[in-house]
Amino acid sequence: MQKGTIFSDYARINVNSKRGRQAFIGAIQHFWDQTGKVQDLLREAGIREFTTTNNFPDSVLEIIDKFHIDVAEVDTAYEAAFDMIDLTKTKTSSFTIRDSQSGLTFSRVRDGEKAKVYAVKGSEVTVSLNLYGGALNWLRTWFDDGEWWTIEDNALEFRHKWFEQKAVAFYDMIQSLTNSAVYNVTYDESTGATTELEHDRKTIGEAATELVDTLRDSGFGVTAGTPMVMLCPISMKSRVEQALNPGRFQGTGYLGGVTVNFNITPYYTSYLDWATVGAVAGGTLWDGDTGTAVPLGYLCVPGRKNKIGNRMNLTIMSETDILSFADTVVGWGRYGAYMNEAQWRRVSSIK
């Protein structure tokens, strides 16, 4: 019996009947649904960083094994900064953020273009739940010739593209934080620190202090002990790991004189890559920075007004195209998001 990642038995695939086509599409839809189910179960188990299974407890590994999903295949680290609103069983086209200050959201544009990020202000903000999707063709000759691996590869690639495009939309929104001294924490230059590690620690500590001071009377329940999330460029992983580990050595000397005394969980991604405002080459520098560089990361108090509204999971639809002798498959999903800027700080990495 030949089987793959999606199909348990290639020999049972039959797209020449209506029931067979429904079963074929159903198998793909079932596989696409697994990522979301696994992430929900992991959150219930208290696991929020979906990056590696190496250090997961056995109970969590059982969840992953049951659904045959590699959680490292997709980047959803940004979700750690947002509360999720499940709107899949509603008929709403938007959700509302009340008593908002200033924030960011995004909207769908023409196919092949990035989602447009724009600023919103007001005591009440309506966040649209936009439709996102794409299509691919499976040639009937692939079925006739039994090229099941080609069909599976296409389905897997489509799913990966969906999560990649979604990640770009969210990380671009995060990197679109307003360029001002309010949100960009400049790199520490104090004489109390003598090494890059100590300067990194003081800069991250200053960003956390600003967030606590700014939000302490907001009604968000923010204190010095509030857990924070720091989304970081992968290129800054070594520096951030050292900065957040009070017992980390560098060379032969212990540099633990300066520490970060906040509850911060870092998440690393390859999508945070803006060295200037708007990622424009030779563009505007971030307020207070003297050169171009990606930041140590974007620190935030998670949840609260940061919201993701999920109206429809990635859903597959199909029809036969008789002119191209192919089955056209379209995947659609619907979601929206709001990012409350007051809950964020960009943490600079250079003087």
Instruction: Identify whether residues 191 and 164 lie together within a single domain.
Output: no
Instruction: Identify whether residues 90 and 134 lie together within a single domain.
Output: yes
Q: Which two tokens stand for residue 2?
A: 């030949």
Instruction: Identify whether residues 172 and 32 lie together within a single domain.
Output: yes
28 Cβ partners below 8 Å, 6+ apart? 6, 155, 316, 329
Indicate the Cα dihedral angle 314, 317, 321, 327, nearest 10°: 70
69-83, 263-277, 298-312: lowest mean pLDDT where? 69-83
Query: What's the confidence (pLDDT) of residue 28?
Result: 76
**Dist. CA 98–CA 114, nearest whole Å:** 27
Kind and range of the H or E run holding 164: helix 148-175
Mean pLDDT over each residue of the chain, to the nearest integer = 81
- Which has more pLDDT, 268 or 119? 268
Give the pLDDT band (50/70/90) at residue 199: very high
5 in any annotated domain: no
**Dist. CA 54–CA 79, nearest whole Å:** 21
- 114-148 b/e (C-beta count within 10 Å ≥ 16 → b): ebebeebeeeebebbbbebbeeeebbbebbeeeeb
Q: Which domain does 215 fall in, by range?
A: 184-301
Instruction: Identify whether residues 62 and 91 lie together within a single domain.
Output: yes
| Candidate ranges 8-22, 189-203, 246-260, 262-276; pick with highest mean pLDDT | 262-276
Closest residue by Cα to residue 299 from 271, 246, 262, 270: 262
The domain tally of the chain equals 2
Over the stretch 204-241, which tens digit does the pLDDT of each residue have? 999 999 999 999 999 999 999 999 999 999 999 999 99
Query: What's the confidence (pLDDT) of residue 63?
Result: 39
216 in any annotated domain: yes
Query: What's the confidence (pLDDT) of residue 254?
Result: 47
Closest residue by Cα to residue 142 from 331, 315, 324: 324
Over the stretch 23-57, which tens digit does the pLDDT of each residue have? 777 777 877 777 666 666 655 555 544 444 444 44
Report which residue type is found at 107: S
57 Cβ partners below 8 Å, 6+ apart? none
Instruction: Identify whether residues 108 and 82 lie together within a single domain.
Output: yes
Instruction: Identify whether residues 169 and 189 lie together within a single domain.
Output: no
Instruction: Identify whether residues 154 and 25 lie together within a single domain.
Output: yes
160 Cβ partners below 8 Å, 6+ apart? 73, 74
**Dist. CA 270–CA 272, nearest whole Å:** 6
Instruction: Identify whether residues 110 and 145 lie together within a single domain.
Output: yes
Residues of the chain by 3-state class (helix, strand, coil), percent to 5: 35, 25, 40
Over the stretch 128-172, which tens digit does the pLDDT of each residue have? 999 888 877 777 787 778 787 787 788 778 888 888 999 999 999
